[in-house]
Amino acid sequence: MKRSKKERQQLLIDTIKNNPFITDEELASQFTVSVQTIRLDRLELSIPELRERIKHVASKSFEDEVRSLPLNEVIGEMVDIELDVRAISLFDVKTEHIFKRNRIARGHHLFAQANSLAVAVINDELALTVKSNLSFVKPVKLGDRVIAKATVTKKDSVKNRTFVEVTSTVENEVVFEGHFEMYRTNEHSKGDVT
């Protein structure tokens, strides 16, 4: 279905608002137009390119927000966090993260990104992984950008537990899912999240 320029540009605004990490190539494919058309639309709408959008999101300092571990121990780049609710990080797969023979990322890097995000989202001085249930859904390759999103699904103040789901995607396709049961001290874990 061919859209008018006005319709396409409104959809472009909505799509980038929902996923600021989407590439021009992904947008072009989604809207069945050329990458050049997407770039011209972005220019007209004063929407910066992906690198600038990421810098803008990453320029927020989360140093004072993350309590459970030093920010530099989060694997990947933290781009959003609301303690005890959700968090997002980016991880770019480089040569040191892959198996040389097939250029596929080693699984422990995906786990480390997800697990450190599950720790970081906890609003407490101490957060430890008690249990995890993991699914490696699709191989991740050299050059891929992995976007991990953590969501707190439940808090149990009696047992000092917080349950966190992490979904990692590459180009909007799920590549990893993890369910984490986290131990925390009782300081901030009042009530249940539904």
For the stretch 49-75, pLDDT in tens is 877 776 665 545 565 567 666 666 788
Considering the domain boundaries, does residue 191 fall inside one?
A: no
CATH number of residue 47's parent domain? 1.10.10.10
- Supply the range of the domain harboring residue 12: 5-58
Structural domains of the chain, count:
2
Residue 9, pLDDT > 70, answer yes
* 145 and 178 part of one domain: yes
pLDDT (0 to 100) of residue 191: 46
Considering the domain boundaries, does residue 189 fall inside one?
A: no
Mean pLDDT, the chain, integer: 86
Residues 18 and 12 sit within 8 Å (Cβ to Cβ): no
* 108 and 175 part of one domain: yes
* 93 and 34 part of one domain: no
Catalogue the long-range contacts made by 156-164 (C-beta closer than 8 Å, 24 or more residues apart).
156/189, 156/192, 157/186, 157/189, 157/190, 157/191, 160/184, 160/185, 160/186, 160/189, 161/130, 161/189, 162/84, 162/122, 162/127, 162/189, 164/118, 164/121, 164/122
* 38 and 114 part of one domain: no
Percent of the chain with pLDDT over 90: 52
Question: d(Cα 151, Cα 164) in Å, to the nearest integer?
Answer: 6
Considering the domain boundaries, does residue 192 fall inside one?
A: no
* 168 and 75 part of one domain: yes
Considering the domain boundaries, does residue 129 fall inside one?
A: yes
For the stretch 119-170, pLDDT in tens is 999 988 888 999 999 999 999 999 999 999 999 999 998 899 999 999 999 9
Single pTM value for the model: 0.69
φ and ψ of 149, to 5 deg: -120, 120
What b-and-e string marks burial along 29-62, b requiring 16 or more CB atoms within 10 Å of the CB? eebebeeebbeebbeeeebeebeebbeebeeeeb
